[in-house]
Structure 1
Amino acid sequence: MTEITVAGETFNILVEGDETKPVLMISNPLGVNLRLWDRQAPAFLEHFRVLRYDSRGHGASVADEGPYSIAGLAQDALAILDALDIERAHWLGLSKGGMVGQWLLAHARERMGRAVLANTAAQIPSPDLWNERIQAARDSGLDALAEGVAERWFTKRFRETEPEAVENVLEMLRQTPLQGYTAAAAAIRDADQREIIRTITNPVLVIVGRHDPSTPPGLGALVASSIEGAQLATLEASHISNIEDAENFTKTVIDFLTASDVPAQEAPPRRRAPAKKAAAKKAAAKKAPVKKAAAQKAPVKKAAVKKAATKKASAKKTPAKKASARKAPAKKTPVKKAAAKKAVSKKIPAKKAAAKKSVAKTTTSRRTIAKKAAPKKAARRTKR
């Protein structure tokens, strides 16, 4: 551990690991110090240069009376990075440390890489509750708060099966300067970052404990839903999830922080693009035959329609023409024929009538002659 002076104030830090690796800065909850991360440190060091620090009012760092604010605590973190000449770092914060991380992501995003916000909230209700805790700490000291804190921070099962781990954390609480604890508690009481976190663009993982009464899962889920692209992981633990479910906590954090980057201009999106292209081709392959078939059938249908239309038109038009052709003569020819017949009836029948009359007269005269001739013939036969 090393003490560094920032703006005339002392901060206790611990920097470990290969200087060529990415920096991971870790911030502690209310009432504990950087030793809270001892169980994660070996695994983290395989991937990162790890920077832990006691936040203001905790451990061996400055513990002035305050008042503290989340913004002020975040400025302390930036000052430490500047003092160590670290331009950019990943962030891991639990509870209060997660609230500090939210401020940094919203106001100093260029200094942050990826961030893990564990067992935290954008606002932890209610002011009255925090005022009661602050007053209880002032009245009875932090020793008196330890039992109640243990019940909120760990499940009953864990307290019974891992009493030593629980006691180690409670001992950190007892060693925390009273004025540091109460000033930091007031900073949490006054914080409301529900709107500002909507501007966060860094990759974020939010971890919640399924059995956490201090920052219930719903509050963590609200943080995750407010940050575009944020991931949410749930562990079977209470508030201090890095202790109660250490193995899963460590793995979840490392998996997130070491996952391949996927900026828009890099190769991964180009890998996804073919997938989309393939999907598009697949979709096109499925749809194309239909369209092609439709395109191939369309002319047939069109031709059939045209053919049918032609036949239908012929059926309708030809008879119409024939009918008109037939009707035309029927209308015109009959008129002409009727006129002709009428003309004939006027002219020809007159001649025929005259002829008939002439024939009739001739026939009559012949019959008359025949009758007259008949007695003569009979008389001749008699004489003979």
Structure 2
Amino acid sequence: MDLDYRLDGPDNAPVLVLSNSLGTRWSLWDAQVETWSKTFRILRYNTRGHGGSPVGHCQLTLEKLGQDVVALLDHLHIARAYFCGISLGGLTGLWLNRYAADRFERMVVANTAAKIGHYEAWMSRAAQVRREGLSALADSAGSRWFSEAFLREQPAIVEHFKQDLRHLSAQGYASCCEALANADLRDEINALSCPLLVIAGVYDPVTTVSDAITLVQQVKHSELLRLPASHLSNVECSTTFAQSVTQFLTR
């Protein structure tokens, strides 16, 4: 197993898998781990190209990112788990709900969509990052990730995430951009079967409330939660996010 992962919480508790967004690491979930560890064994991993998880030799695809999670569960001899992912991690969760639903009890996807962004924009960003690195992108990341109010009130937290992005692998980030360029589950959403909570940020310019509503309208056994946040809703609304996820997963 070449993925970078860690486990926290009681050994005998049910497992909750956490999947990070593009440009972040498993530390994205730090604000939720204490709460969730009271109920779950927390399995965090870094998506390929992030942290200590290598890109590998093959072109990254959404299928590969989803298969990584299944392989990690197999590696740890975990037959079934719960899942929570945000942005790219949420899209990974949608793939898992479509192709590996038998491995999960319930799932949460936040700030995501069946198709995120446009092919040309992702490929352009990938090419830019390969040429120039991540510094310039990190400088502007705050306005994509956080609301104006959060940017004003929590500059230290914003800067922490921007610094994390600066220190990621540019090649790894670009490879995930290319995976997002080609990822499209819009024609498969109505086949999802695992109970699903969809969390949307009211101020999210990347994956909108409308995107979340579209998911809920097409997925059986799904429901929608709106939070007063932008794209990283688990950071802006950390306590409400943690409590809402716990309530849904333990219902």
Q: TM-score, length-normalised on structure 2?
A: 0.97
Partner of 1:134: 126
Give the Cα separation in 2 of the matches to 1:258 and 1:77. 21
Residues 184-220 of structure 1 deviation map (CA, whole Å, 9 limit, x = unaligned): 1111111110121211111100000000001111111
Partner of 1:94: 86
One-letter identity of the residue aligned with 1:146: A
Residues 97-119 of structure 1 deviation map (CA, whole Å, 9 limit, x = unaligned): 01111111111111011000000
- Counterpart of 2:13 (choices 21, 30, 50) is 21
**CA gap 1:164/1:220 in 2 versus in 1, 3 angstroms:** same
Give the Cα separation in 1 of the matches to 2:142 and 2:27. 17
Q: Give the 5 Å matches for 1:330-341.
A: none
Post-superposition offset of 1:229: 2.1
Partner of 1:246: 238
- Counterpart of 1:184 (choices 157, 162, 176) is 176
Give the Cα separation in 2 of the matches to 1:109 and 1:94. 18
Q: Give the 5 Å matches for 1:59-208.
A: 59-64=51-56, 66-208=58-200
Post-superposition offset of 1:129: 1.4
Partner of 1:354: none
Q: Give the 5 Å matches for 1:352-363.
A: none
SS at match of 2:226: strand
Post-superposition offset of 1:61: 1.2
When the two chains are superposed, the root-mean-square deviation of aligned CA atoms in Å is 1.1
Give the Cα separation in 2 of the matches to 1:144 and 1:89. 38
Q: Is the 8 A contact 1:115 1:204 kept in 2?
A: yes
One-letter identity of the residue aligned with 2:46: D
* Pairs aligned (count): 251
Partner of 1:31: 23
Residues 31-88 of structure 1 deviation map (CA, whole Å, 9 limit, x = unaligned): 1110111110000001101100011110111133642101001111111111100001
Q: Is the 8 A contact 1:25 1:89 kept in 2?
A: yes
Give the Cα separation in 1 of the matches to 2:168 and 2:58. 15
Partner of 2:35: 43
Runs of at least 5 residues in structure 2 that lack an aligned partner in the other structure: none
Partner of 1:212: 204
Q: Is the 8 A contact 1:64 1:179 kept in 2?
A: no
Give the Cα separation in 1 of the matches to 2:105 and 2:50. 25
Runs of at least 5 residues in structure 1 that lack an aligned partner in the other structure: 1-5, 260-384
Which structure exhibits the higher relative contact order, with contacts defined as CA atoms closer than 8 Å and separated by 6 or more residues?
A: 2
One-letter identity of the residue aligned with 1:173: L
One-letter identity of the residue aligned with 2:43: L
Partner of 1:234: 226
Post-superposition offset of 1:135: 2.2
Give the Cα separation in 2 of the matches to 1:90 and 1:42. 17
Give the Cα separation in 1 of the matches to 2:241 and 2:201. 10
Give the Cα separation in 2 of the matches to 1:29 and 1:66. 21
Whichever of the two has the greater Rg, that structure is 1
SS at match of 2:96: helix
One-letter identity of the residue aligned with 2:102: E
Give the Cα separation in 2 of the matches to 1:216 and 1:130. 17
Give the Cα separation in 2 of the matches to 1:164 and 1:130. 28
Percent identity reads: 38
Q: Is the 8 A contact 2:129 2:171 kept in 1?
A: no
Post-superposition offset of 1:144: 0.7
Give the Cα separation in 1 of the matches to 2:205 and 2:241. 18
Q: TM-score, length-normalised on structure 1?
A: 0.64
One-letter identity of the residue aligned with 1:125: G
Residues 215-266 of structure 1 deviation map (CA, whole Å, 9 limit, x = unaligned): 111111111211012000000000000101111111111111111xxxxxxx
Higher helix proportion: 1
SS at match of 2:3: strand
